[in-house]
Copies of this chain bind each other. A is one copy, B any other.
Amino acid sequence: MQDRTYTADAEPGDDVTVAGWVHEIRDLGGIAFLILRDATGKIQVKFEKDEMDDDLVETGLGVSRESVVSVSGAVEEEPRAPTGVEVTPESVEVVSAADPELPLDPSGKVDAELSTRLDNRTLDLRKDEVQAIFAIRAELLRAVREQFREFRCTEITTPKIVATGTEGGTELFPITYFGEEAFMNQSPQLFKQLIAGSNVERVFEIGPIFRAEEHNTPRHLNEATSIDFEGAFCDEHDAMDVAEGIVKAGYEAIAENCEEELEALGLEEEFDVPEGEFPRISYEEAIERINATGELDEQLVWGDDLPTEGEKALGDDVGGHYFITDWPSEIKPFYIQDHDDDEQLSTGFDLMHPQMELVSGGKREHRHENLIEGFEQQGLDPDQFEYYTKMFKYGMPPHAGFGLGGERLVMTILGLDNIREAVLFPRDRQRLSP
C-alpha cells in the first residue's frame, strides 16, 4: 500500500487513499458519515446519498463496524468534522469485512472485563487508551536505552535457557533441553556479572525473565521484562545513581514525546516528572518510620522483611520515589556484598515507588572465597555454579548493579491498577494464551 496516506497526513486539497477500520457510521438521513480510523487517528468520510452513486453509498454505509476499508477521494476542509477535514469518496473498497458480532467493543462505550480484553487483544488495542500504554512503553524503553548508553553501558543479551537458576531451584520453570534438565532463566544476574568482569565493564540488558511464582496478584507476572544494569568499578551508590537516572529519563521522555498518549489516558494534567534526588533511607530508619505510622498491627523489628502494607505506609509518608539501603544481610541474596565494617549489614538496596518496589540492587560479592561461602550459607551447591564462580579467580573487579521491573515501571508511571495492563499478552497462573 505504498500510495496510502495516513489519516493524520491528509491535507485539504489532496487526493488520497486512506485505509483503516470503520470506527463508526453516523447516518443523519440525506447525509451520512463513516469515521475511518488508522494508526495515526481518525478521518471523516462524507456520503451525500442523493448526489452519489448508489453502489458507493451502499458499500460505504452497509459495512459493519471494525471492517477494514480503503477510501479514495478528495480531502476538503470541514470545520465541523472532528479533525477539521473530511474525505468525499470517489471509491470505497471493503478490504476485510468484520463479523457484526464483536466480542469486544473497541469504541470503549461498553466496558469489558480484563480477561475478555486479553482474549481479544487485537480488538482491545484498537482503543486509543490501550494503544497509548504500549506507545508509551516503547518510548520509555527507547529513552532508557539511550540513558544507559550515556552512562557508557553496552547493551548485551544473555541466555534464557540455563542449567541452573540464579538463586537455586525454586520458582523456576523446568524445560527439557535435548534430554537434559534445564530452566528458563529467572534473572540475568550471574551472566551480566560475568560480562561486567571483562573489559566491557558496564552493561545493560532489557529482556524477558521467567518466574514460576505462585503469586497471582495485580503486581506479579510469571513472564516479565527485566531492565538490568551491572557495572565494574561501581559500588551501591553508583548503582543507585544509575537507577535514579534511568527512571527519571523515562519520565522525562514520556512528558516530552507522548503528549497525545497521555491525553488518551486522561493523564495530561497530572503527569509529573519526579523532581529532586530520591531520598536514600536506611532499612533501620525505614522500619522506624513504618512503625511510627501506626499502620501495622505488629511493630516491625530489625531483620523483618517489609510487608506490602509497610511499604505502602512508608511510601505515603515519603510521598515519592525513595531508596531503602543497608538491608540486613540475611534477607538479601548471597551475591550481595556485606559492608566491610558490619557483616550483618548488606550493601543491598531497593528503589521504591510509593506503590511498590521497582528495583533491587547492590554491590556484588566479587571475592572468590566469600562468594563460595555465600553459596553454602544459602544452601546452594557451589559446584553447580562453577561456570560462574571460577571466573572470580581471574581478576573480578568490584562491581554493582540492579534489576528493574519493566512492567512495574510502566504501571507506576501511568498509575495502572493491574500489571497485566502493561503487557500485550500477559502470562500468569491461569493465562497461557493468546
Chain A residues in contact with chain B, CB under 8 A?
1-2, 4, 19-22, 37-39, 66-68, 95-99, 102-103, 119-126, 128, 131, 134-135, 138, 141-142, 145, 149, 152, 154-164, 173-178, 180, 182, 184, 190-191, 194-195, 197-202, 207-208, 210, 212, 222-223, 225, 232-235, 237-238, 366-367, 387-388, 390-391, 393-398, 423-427, 429, 432-434
Contact = CB atoms under 8 A, between A and B. Distances in A.
A160 B427 CA distance: 9
A21 B99 contact: no
A256 to B, nearest CB: 15
Q: What number of copies of this chain does the assembly contain?
A: 2
B233 A19 contact: yes
Nearest to A4: B233
Contacts of A197: 122
Contacts of A202: 39
A422 to B, nearest CB: 10
Contacts of A233: 1, 4, 19
A141 B155 contact: yes
Contacts of A128: 199
Contacts of A429: 178
29 contacts: A1-B235, A1-B238, A4-B233, A19-B233, A21-B199, A37-B199, A68-B395, A68-B396, A96-B366, A122-B194, A123-B198, A128-B199, A131-B198, A135-B154, A135-B200, A142-B155, A157-B423, A159-B424, A161-B222, A162-B432, A163-B433, A164-B433, A173-B177, A175-B175, A175-B184, A182-B432, A191-B424, A191-B434, A207-B207
B2 A98 contact: no
A201 B195 CA distance: 37
A200 B134 contact: yes
A367 B96 contact: yes
B425 A159 contact: yes
Given A142-B149, A387-B433, A394 B122 contact: yes
B395 A157 contact: no
Nearest to A175: B175
B138 A98 contact: no
Given A1-B234, A198-B122, A233-B1, A398 B95 contact: yes
Nearest to A2: B238
A393 B96 CA distance: 9
Contact of A198 (B125, B163, B200, B434): B125
A189 to B, nearest CB: 13
A99 B161 contact: no
A178 B423 CA distance: 20
